[in-house]
A = this chain, B = another copy of it.
Amino acid sequence: MSTTLKFTALLLALKAELVAQPSKYGSLWPLPQKVQLSEVSFKLTSSSFRIVDAKDSTAGPSCSLLQDAYRRYYEYMFGIAKRQQLNKGRRTGPSELTELQVWITSPDSECDSYPSLTSDESCESLPHSYHLHRVAGIQLVYEDEYGAKSINSTTISDFPRFAHRGILLDSSRHFLPIKVILANLETMAMNKINVFHWHIVDDQSFPYLSRTFPQLSQQGAYHPYTHVYTPADVKMVIEFARLRGIRVIPEFDTPGHTQSWGKGQPDLLTPCYSGSKPSGTFGPVNPILNTTYDFMSQFFKEISAVFPDAYVHLGGDEVDFTCWKSNPDIQKFMDQQGFGQDYSKLESFYIQKLLDIVTTTEKGYTIWQEVFDNGVKLKPDTVVHVWIGGGSNEEMGKVTAAGYTTILSAPWYLDYISYAQDWQKYYKVEPLNFNGTEAQKKLVIGGEACLWGEYVDATNLTPRLWPRASAVAERLWSAKDVTDINDAFSRLSVHRCRMVDRGIPAEPLFSSYCPHEYKGI
């Protein structure tokens, strides 16, 4: 027996040449702010283990959000296939953990409300009794050598470094079936990502089915029935996200990136001219017509009702002035307004009016950095989204110096792929690595990994996103000094196998294997 054990140890040592040393933090991802590990282990059995509301918890059985989480985590722990009937009469073993007590301490349990920028995401776990806000700690469960589910006595004190930890998915360049969106929301929750930035429409297609303007998707979607998000779809996405502590921030990008809008909304886009005649093609939203603003008022009124989050993303990036320049009516308007040949003033004119419209819906707004760069007057609580690579540190400095809240995406464009372990590049980013005061640094509320859709659809989105986005997730959650790349490699390797085990095709970091390989193709 002893010989066998030694032999196994030798084999493991040989394998260690090819794989990383295990981390003392096991597979925790993202790494909690404080972890105290102990050698004392307890067994868990599906027939006895229960997740219960602590006596003094401010949330109880009527909190569907919690009950839903209990089921989800129970299934993560014991698997769906192996679940046994709960056996209440069974005598429990001496070193068996039979109860996870969930003790919500905040006065507002947020059971029925939506997560927000100010939601309390902190949690404490103590040996035997867990105080939790959103359920955590499940990553501590492991299988011992006999396959028994076990957990070591561990004290965790955890909270996120940044409040806004997002992922942008683009459902316009390619339509993303609801199934794909839900699977990725599930995976976001596994990585403590709490914002789904839904870049829902763009030039290529308009899959959002608007109740007020149904012709937008009728004409602008790739297909009016099979490639649209119905009101019920949108509702399902928002509720699925809410139950996992994820905010859904929709982006309706204007005045550029709007080719698909023009198909169902005549006169919304600027007619481009070739010489003295309209060429038949269209440019950005037409900023000189009153009908444009009537449309936007009605449209954003609907959006503000459909999407419960306090913020909406208004885009504002990459406005091409060529078409505006070609159009004689636009030129006349420029003269009247005294804009000269400065088309960024026309852009600002449009955005300013749009912001006023959205303000009446009582939403806050996020805009891409160009809107700030062009000097548009913004409300003080505007969130400026920094995305342009090269010079993004300077931009972060400027935006925060002007007093605006900001989120960073420039180093995290995950649609740009390269050979080998590019997750390390994302991991090494330090979001506050710009010149600025402490007050300025406080204005950085977080960041987002962006997976633009030119080369991504249901066939390859999930493995391309995970675990590369997990690197961003840890950077935004864990303490600033969590930078050991070898330790991260080890934890992330196991975390990625955990995602695979849960049915998510998260791609490998490097040569190795998972105990249970992905079951799909």
Q: Say if the beta carbon of A513 comes within 8 Å of chain B.
A: yes
**Chain A's interface: helix, strand, loop or mixed, by majority?**
loop
Residues of B within 8 A of A173 (CB): 511
A456 in contact with B508 (CB, 8 Å): yes
Q: Say if the beta carbon of A427 comes within 8 Å of chain B.
A: no
**Which of A149-157, A175-183, A479-487 lies on the face that meets chain B?**
A175-183
Residue from B18, B415, B517 in contact with A204 in the complex, judged by beta carbons closer than 8 Å: B18
A459 in contact with B454 (CB, 8 Å): no
Residues of B within 8 A of A226 (CB): 515-517
**Which of A23-31, A74-82, A127-135, A499-507 lies on the face that meets chain B?**
A499-507
Q: Say if the beta carbon of A219 comes within 8 Å of chain B.
A: yes
- Mark A270-282 against chain B: 1 for CB-CB distance below 8 A, else 0: 0000000000010
Docked complex Cα distance between A68 and B184 (Å):
38
Residues of B within 8 A of A507 (CB): 455-457, 459-460
**Which of A190-198, A416-424, A443-451 lies on the face that meets chain B?**
A416-424
Q: Say if the beta carbon of A20 comes within 8 Å of chain B.
A: no
Residues of B within 8 A of A453 (CB): 511
- Known A175-B517, A417-B418, A520-B520; contact A510-B455, beta-carbon cutoff 8 A: yes
Residues of B within 8 A of A458 (CB): 505, 517-521
Residues of B within 8 A of A515 (CB): 223, 226
Closest B-chain residue to A454, C-beta based?
A: B511
A222 in contact with B513 (CB, 8 Å): yes
B460 in contact with A460 (CB, 8 Å): yes
A174 in contact with B512 (CB, 8 Å): yes
24 contacts between A and B (CB under 8 A): A11-B219, A174-B508, A174-B512, A179-B521, A227-B517, A415-B419, A417-B418, A419-B455, A420-B455, A455-B510, A456-B507, A457-B507, A458-B505, A458-B519, A459-B505, A459-B507, A460-B460, A460-B505, A460-B507, A460-B508, A462-B521, A463-B463, A504-B521, A520-B521
- Mark A369-400 against chain B: 1 for CB-CB distance below 8 A, else 0: 00000000000000000000000000000000
Q: Say if the beta carbon of A205 comes within 8 Å of chain B.
A: yes
Q: Say if the beta carbon of A14 comes within 8 Å of chain B.
A: yes
A508 in contact with B457 (CB, 8 Å): yes
Task: Give the contacts of A34-51 with B (CB-CB under 8 A).
Answer: none
Docked complex Cα distance between A17 and B464 (Å):
28
Docked complex Cα distance between A226 and B501 (Å):
14
Residues of B within 8 A of A223 (CB): 513, 515
Docked complex Cα distance between A261 and B18 (Å):
14
Apart from A204-B511, A460-B507, 5 more pairs, CB < 8 Å: A11-B219, A174-B511, A455-B509, A460-B508, A504-B521
- Known A205-B513, A227-B513; contact A521-B183, beta-carbon cutoff 8 A: yes
Q: Say if the beta carbon of A165 comes within 8 Å of chain B.
A: no
Q: Say if the beta carbon of A263 comes within 8 Å of chain B.
A: yes
Closest B-chain residue to A18, C-beta based?
A: B204
- Considering residues A457, A462, A509, which has the most beta carbons from chain B within 10 angstroms of its beta carbon? A457
B419 in contact with A416 (CB, 8 Å): yes
Residues of B within 8 A of A464 (CB): 460
